[in-house]
Structure formats: structure tokens, C-alpha cells
């Protein structure tokens, strides 16, 4: 499908309407839908981890946009009520990533006393998702409720690609605190005017990257694994079960179609329904960057965070010039997935067989190569662009190598 025809496609038009300003033209001059973007600056003063976010260093840092409906920003997906709005700030220095979150909440509840690996942490939570290397693999997750019960985990790859969860050891230098304006689990469920809880974390940088060893299997020096990259993939999710009559939130539909694939310019698909609890209102999920489904495990849709090596907060976000290549590779991933579904699980080496945006590949990126295994059940697609080549596999693993 050519880019010039995208905006005329009635199936995709609602997606482009809700993306609005998140259509960015890159050096390749192709307007592409993008996730949310944010710029994080160096820490400009001391920070005490007490959950209050009241230091000057935090005051100087910008907020993200307030969280929206996980399915997107179209009018059919209503925004969350103002009394449960959520937003985040990020600061960094040579050793740590600092995360500050403000979660408005008139009735603060915490249901779980323990987080269990392999089980859904089904509670009122603030959740951080972080793909340090932007490979869609080995991404990190922290889920935390208002009582400070948290689960830190690593997914070797998304569950839909047969990935699994394991514990993420945050190390002895990880710190966090939660501050609450309002009693947690008030027995009378009494609403608090302007109630909220805030989360403050200090995450060691050397715990973020999965690339501890180089290509020869030699363990890297600490300073090599703790360096802050220019860009990182992050998203933030808030889930909850608000008390009826206090938070008036519309139930998230169980019939809305997922638009994850259509973000990468494919057709629409279904998604699983959300469970509800009887004693409270419907479960809600809000996110910083839209998920276009109720599944957070699509790292390619997470927000783009730029880490600027300055305390000057007037320095703006600069679009990542690798994004068009990443976008095209994800098109290959979804195109191959759709192709294999109708060809007995076998992939193709001919991208013309795929229902992908050929103009993006041929006119804006290119050249593209796809190599399949002898039995056709695996592949690697490569796009050479400028000084690097981007690669993606059938399990969504995406990485870049330098051209020589």
C-alpha cells in the first residue's frame, strides 16, 4: 500500500485522526505514525527518594502528557476522568534513571500483598516498561501498587512470540518510595478531595541493558553497560478497579478491534476481553503512549524517550533517524506473520508477496533483503540505510549492525 493512499483508506483513517501530531516526517521525507515522544534531561540538583517529587530538580523536568485510553485517542475511546489522571517525569545522571509518577486517586486502594512471578499482578498499579536496547527482547518491567508491593521482571521476548517472564534483579542500589495524599484502603471507602499517590524510583543504569557481553562473548566493563543511550523505548501503564460512584469511567469495550497491526498499516484484528470485579467498577487501563489494544507487550509501540546530555530543558526532542527503518522492519514482521498464517507457517523471501508499504521500502528506505531458513519456518529481514543495517527475525528481535 502506497503512503499516498494511506490517508484514503477508510479502515486506517480513524487511526491517523487519533495520531494527530504524532505523524512525523523524517529525513526520508515519509510521514509516519509515531508513538509518543519525551525528552529526559540530566539531573540538575539533589534528589531525596521520598516519593514527594518536590525538589527543584523535579520542578525543572517536564511532565509527559497525561495518560490516555490504551486503545488510542479517537473520540470512540474516551479519556479517563480528571480525578484519576496520571503523568510521569524522567531524569538521569551517570549512575541512575529517576522516575517520578503522579497518580490522582480519590480512593486509594491496594489489593495485593505479594507479587508472584508468572501471575498477573492484578491490582491498582503503576507500571513501567523499558526496552533499553530497543530490540523488542529482554525488556524490563516494574509493577507497583500504592502499598509499595512491586514486581520487577524481564521478558526475554513478547508473550505472543513465545516469550516468558523471569525475575529482574534490580540490585542493592535500587530505591523507591511512595507518598500518598489520602489513606490507603480506608475501611469506609471515603473519597479524599484532590487525593493522589506518587511514585519515585532510582534505577541503576547498569541494571537496564541486556548487552552485558560483546559479540565475542567477552564481559563488558561496567562503564560500557551503564552508559545512557540517546534513545530508549519506554511506556507507562496504569491499571485499577475504581469504586463505583466515585470514579465515573466507561467500561472498556470488549468488542472494539485491536489496531496494533493497522498502526503498521495492516488490517484489523480482535483482542481478548477484560475481566471485571463485582465489588468495584470495570477494570481500566490507561497508558502514556497508546497500545491500540489491551496488550502492553508490543515494545514497538512504546514511547520514544530521548536522553539529552544537558540540564537545559529548552533543548527539544530530535526525531530518531533510525525510526523509518524500524517502522519498515516491523511492517515486514507483521507482513510475514500474516503470510505464514495462510501458508502453513512458511515465510517468504519476496517482500512483494507481503501486503506491505512498498513505497516506504523502495523510495524511502531500501534496499531490503529477506533470507529464510531451508525449511522456511524462520527468516531474517535486513534493510541497509546510511551507515547501518537494521535486522528483524520472526520472533520480533530487531537490531542494527554498522556498515563497513
> CB-hemisphere CA count at 13 Å for 378?
7
Exposed / middle / buried, residue 288 (Cβ in 10 Å: 0-12, 13-18, 19+): buried
More confident residue, 249 or 193: 193
CA atoms within 13 A on the CB side of 245: 4
Q: What is the pLDDT of residue 207?
A: 95
pLDDT average, residue stretch 125-137? 97
Domain 35-308, CATH:
2.60.40.1190
**Residue 219 pLDDT > 50, yes or no?**
no
CA pair distance 321, 400, nearest whole angstrom? 13
Q: Does the domain spanning 1-34+321-404 belong to CATH 3.30.1300.70?
A: yes
pLDDT bin (cut points 50, 70, 90) of residue 7 is very low
CA 3 – CA 359 distance, rounded (Å): 7
pLDDT, tens digit (0-9, with 9 covering 90-100), for 11-35? 343 444 344 445 555 555 677 889 9
Instruction: Parse the chain into domains and list their residue ranges.
Output: 1-34+321-404, 35-308
pLDDT at 243: 72
Q: What are phi and psi of 385, to 5 degrees?
A: -140, 115
Contact between 68 and 18 (Cβ < 8 Å): no
CB 355 within 8 A of CB 364: no
- For residue 371, the tally of other CB atoms under 10 A from its CB is 11
93-105 per-position pLDDT tens digit:
999 999 999 999 9
Nearest residue to 312 via CA among 12, 58, 43? 43
Q: Provide, rounded to the nearest whole percent, the portion of the chain with pLDDT above 90.
A: 62
Euclidean distance between CA atoms 103 and 83, whole angstroms: 9
Contact 319, 327 (CB under 8 A): no
184, 116 in Cβ contact below 8 A? no
Separation CA 285–CA 306 (nearest Å)? 25
pLDDT digits (tens, 9 = 90+) for 303-360: 999 999 999 999 999 999 999 999 999 999 999 999 999 999 999 999 889 988 777 7
Q: Report the length, in residues, of the chain.
A: 404
Give me the residues paired with residue 91 across strands. 41, 98
User: What strand order describes the sheet that includes 368-372?
Assistant: 368-372, 379-385, 388-393, 398-402
Contact assessment for residue 200 and residue 176, using Cβ atoms and an 8 Å cutoff: yes
Is the preceding omega at residue 330 within 30 degrees of 0, hence cis?
no
3-state helix, strand, coil in the chain (%, to 5): 15, 30, 55
**With bands split at pLDDT 50, 70 and 90, how would you rate the model's confidence at 276?**
very low
Q: How far apart are CA 395 and CA 200, in angstroms?
A: 34
pLDDT at 189: 86
* Closest listed residue to residue 363, CA positions, set 8, 22, 32: 32
Amino acid at each position: 500500500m502506497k503512503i499516498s493512499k494511506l490517508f484514503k483508506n477508510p479502515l486506517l483513517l480513524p487511526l491517523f485522526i487519533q495520531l494527530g501530531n504524532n505523524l512525523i516526517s523524517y529525513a526520508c521525507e515519509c510521514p509516519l505514525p509515531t508513538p509518543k515522544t519525551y525528552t529526559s534531561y540530566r539531573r540538575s540538583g539533589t534528589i531525596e527518594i521520598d516519593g514527594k517529587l518536590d525538589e527543584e530538580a523535579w520542578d525543572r523536568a517536564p511532565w509527559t502528557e497525561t495518560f490516555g485510553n490504551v486503545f488510542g485517542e479517537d473520540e470512540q475511546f474516551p479519556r479517563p476522568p480528571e480525578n484519576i489522571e496520571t503523568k510521569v517525569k524522567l531524569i538521569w545522571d551517570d549512575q541512575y534513571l529517576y522516575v517520578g509518577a503522579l497518580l490522582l486517586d480519590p480512593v486509594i486502594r491496594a489489593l495485593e500483598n505479594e507479587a508472584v512471578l508468572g501471575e498477573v499482578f492484578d491490582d491498582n498499579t503503576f507500571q513501567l516498561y523499558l526496552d533499553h536496547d530497543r530490540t523488542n527482547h529482554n525488556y524490563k518491567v516494574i509493577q507497583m501498587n500504592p502499598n509499595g508491593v512491586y514486581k520487577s521482571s524481564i521478558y526475554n521476548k513478547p508473550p505472543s512470540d513465545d516469550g516468558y517472564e523471569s525475575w529482574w534483579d534490580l540490585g542493592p542500589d535500587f530505591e523507591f518510595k511512595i507518598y500518598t495524599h489520602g489513606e490507603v484502603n480506608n475501611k469506609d471507602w471515603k473519597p479524599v478531595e484532590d487525593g493522589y499517590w506518587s511514585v519515585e524510583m532510582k534505577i541503576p543504569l547498569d541494571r537496564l541493558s541486556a548487552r552485558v557481553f560483546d559479540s565475542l562473548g567477552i564481559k563488558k566493563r561496567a562503564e560500557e553497560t551503564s552508559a545512557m543511550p540517546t534513545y530508549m523505548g519506554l511506556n507507562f501503564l496504569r491499571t485499577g478497579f475504581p469504586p463505583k460512584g466515585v470514579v465515573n469511567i466507561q467500561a472498556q469495550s470488549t468488542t472494539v478491534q485491536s489496531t496494533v497491526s493497522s498502526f503498521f498499516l495492516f488490517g484489523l484484528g480482535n483482542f481478548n476481553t477484560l475481566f471485571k470485579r463485582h465489588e468495584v467498577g470495570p477494570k481500566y487501563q490507561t497508558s502514556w503512549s497508546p497500545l491500540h489494544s489491551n496488550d502492553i507487550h508490543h515494545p514497538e509501540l512504546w514511547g520514544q524517550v530521548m536522553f539529552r546530555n544537558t540540564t537545559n530543558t529548552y533543548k527539544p526532542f530530535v526525531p530518531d533517524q533510525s525510526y523509518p527503518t524500524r517502522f519498515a522492519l516491523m511492517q515486514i514482521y507483521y507482513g510475514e506473520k500474516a503470510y505464514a498464517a495462510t501458508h502453513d507457517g512458511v515465510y517468504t523471501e519476496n517482500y512483494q508477496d507481503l501486503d506491505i508499504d512498498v513505497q516506504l521500502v523502495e523510495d524511502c528506505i531500501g534496499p531490503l533483503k529477506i533470507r529464510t531458513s531451508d525449511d522456511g519456518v524462520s527468516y531474517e529481514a535486513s534493510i541497509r540505510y546510511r551507515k547501518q543495517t537494521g535486522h528483524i527475525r520472526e520472533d520480533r528481535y530487531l537490531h542494527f549492525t554498522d556498515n563497513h
